[in-house]
């Protein structure tokens, strides 16, 4: 597959660019009853994300392309099928190549619905 299925890209679940750490990336999210969230991102250009940290654990898997994650300055190169666990409080940033798709699970609320803007 070259893209996430249409049913995963509901306009009401689109992530606003204000909630992104990377420019020219498209994302959608789903929220569990406990407030945890999952996000699905597609990167359309080679990009570098801003350094940031979360107050909750994060897990990610690379679906296509390549993502290079930096956790406390240690490099992890993720290819399709590779997973990465990011403990809360870890300073992180990364580089994505055009066409990269990733899935992320967050232990708490990462995306605020009041900032979600239909496309």
Give me the CATH number covering residue 60: 2.60.120.10
| 11 domain residue, yes or no | no
Q: What pLDDT, on a 0 to 100 scale, did the predictor assign at position 113?
A: 67
| 13 domain residue, yes or no | no
| 68 domain residue, yes or no | yes
Mean pLDDT of 36-48: 93
Q: Evaluate whether 81 touches 101 at the Cβ level (below 8 Å).
A: no
Q: Evaluate whether 9 touches 28 at the Cβ level (below 8 Å).
A: yes
| 117 domain residue, yes or no | no
| 116 domain residue, yes or no | no
Please give the tally of structural domains in the chain.
Answer: 1
**pTM greater than 0.75 (yes/no):** yes
| 49 domain residue, yes or no | yes
Rg of the chain (C-alpha set): 13
What are the respective helix, strand and coil percentages of the chain, to the nearest 5? Answer: 10, 40, 50
Q: Which tens digit of pLDDT belongs to each residue from 59-107?
A: 999 999 999 999 999 999 999 999 999 999 999 999 999 999 999 999 9
Determine the structural domain holding residue 85 and report its residue range: 20-110
Band the pLDDT of 108: cuts 50, 70, 90: confident
Q: Which tens digit of pLDDT belongs to each residue from 11-28?
A: 889 887 777 777 778 899
| 3 domain residue, yes or no | no
């Amino acid at each position: 597959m070259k893209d996430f299925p249409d049913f995963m890209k509901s306009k009401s679940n689109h992530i606003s660019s204000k909630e992104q750490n990377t420019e020219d990336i498209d994302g959608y999210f789903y929220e569990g009853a406990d407030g945890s969230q999952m996000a699905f991102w597609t990167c359309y250009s080679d990009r570098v994300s801003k350094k940031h940290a979360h107050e909750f654990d994060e897990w990610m898997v690379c679906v296509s392309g390549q993502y290079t994650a930096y956790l406390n300055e240690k490099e992890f190169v993720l290819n399709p099928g590779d997973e990465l666990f990011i403990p809360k409080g870890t300073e992180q940033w990364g580089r994505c190549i055009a066409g990269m798709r990733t899935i992320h699970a967050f232990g708490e609320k990462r995306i605020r619905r009041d900032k979600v803007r239909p496309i």
